[in-house]
Amino acid sequence: MKSRKVVRSKVPFRLGLAGGGTDVSPFSDIYGGAILNATISLYAYTTIEQTNNGKIVFYSPSNNIYEEYDSSEFIEPEGYFILHKGIYNRVVKDFVKQPLSFKISTFADAPPGSGLGTSSTMVVAILGAFVEWLKLPLGEYDIARLAYEIERNDLNMAGGKQDQYAATFGGFNYMEFYKDRVIVNPLRVRQHYMDELSHNLILYYTNTCRVSAKIIEEQQNNIINKNEVSVNAMINLKEQAYRMKEVILKGELDTVGPILDLSWQHKKKMANYITNPMLDAIYEAATSAGSTGGKVSGAGGGGFMFFYCPDVTRYKVIEALSKFGGELKRYEFTKEGLRTWTTY
């Protein structure tokens, strides 16, 4: 009996510690963007099972959603599996030039719209599985760039560039964004600094999701229209990314909280709907209980928040947040990005 070929991928989500939003065009094209991010032990997973029945099957085990198609070179990118279809179409168009037969299953440790780069990370997970299966000649920069092009150009989804590169490279990275290129600077952060940072930086899920496109589109319009408040806020966010890089490399971790707080004050000026009364109340409760600073993860509006809690203040902060009905997420920082393997 012939063995069945199965390909898997595992890709970490990220925390944008500073500079978030400066990777979005046209700001990054005009002024250049800078972000300090780090990947964490929450993941997106993909499994591709090679078949020979002339069918393409998309499956989400967590939601029990299943779609089946006859093999073809193009599947209309719509519905729940829009990312999967967009990636398949691009892989066929650019590389294999013929229909494929397979079943693809995907799963994520965090819901869409939660602010951890979930959609873009899933794109990297799916694309990485195809690269492993078909042995495509793509390196890390190639995979991240192609993932960005599929999501932003092929599928017309609003967003920046950091998530695809964070997911692909993994670890702590200081990233620079320009009109026609991205530079990833991996940081050599000492393990005990990483341990201390994950101990003091609590990750809190507000049990709300948001559609980031509306916030991002307003942010883009503010740059196009030269909104001085928004432009200056984003320039300040770039500066905080540079400061965050320095304090993490030096282990001056108690400076992280004030940088997060200053970044959050600037971020709220980028666009409306980045915050709301519920998020403001959560932030106030956390800082009143001892946190020295925090922010909403991602574009804003809901999803995950994280707070820096020096010494042993994390316990009082966790207690203060318990009344809001959210969920504390345990995690560690990871050193690796996209991982793929084949089994039979």
CA distance 200 to 308: 6
The identity of residue 141, as a single letter, is: Y
CB 16 within 8 A of CB 241: no
Helices (H) and strands (E) in the chain, counts: 11, 12
CA distance 212 to 67: 26
CA distance 308 to 314: 8
Catalytic hit among 163, 180, 261, 280? 163
- Candidates 187, 174, 196; CA nearest to 249 is 187
**Residue spans of alpha helices (H) in 135-270:** 140-149, 162-169, 191-200, 212-224, 228-250, 256-267
Task: Please report, for residues 56, 131, 162, the alpha-carbon distance to residue 50 in angstroms, rounded to integers and kept in the order given.
Answer: 10, 13, 31
Give the HSE-up count for residue 91: Cα atoms under 13 Å, Cβ half-sphere: 27
> In this structure, what token pair is assigned to residue 208?
């709300």
CB 34 within 8 A of CB 242: yes
Count the Cβ atoms, other than its own, within 10 Å of residue 262.
18
Q: Is 163 a catalytic residue?
A: yes
Count the Cβ atoms, other than its own, within 10 Å of residue 276.
15
- DSSP line for 60-96: ETTTTEEEEEE--S-----STTHHHHHHHHHHIIIII
CA distance 173 to 38: 6
Residues annotated catalytic, as ranges: 163
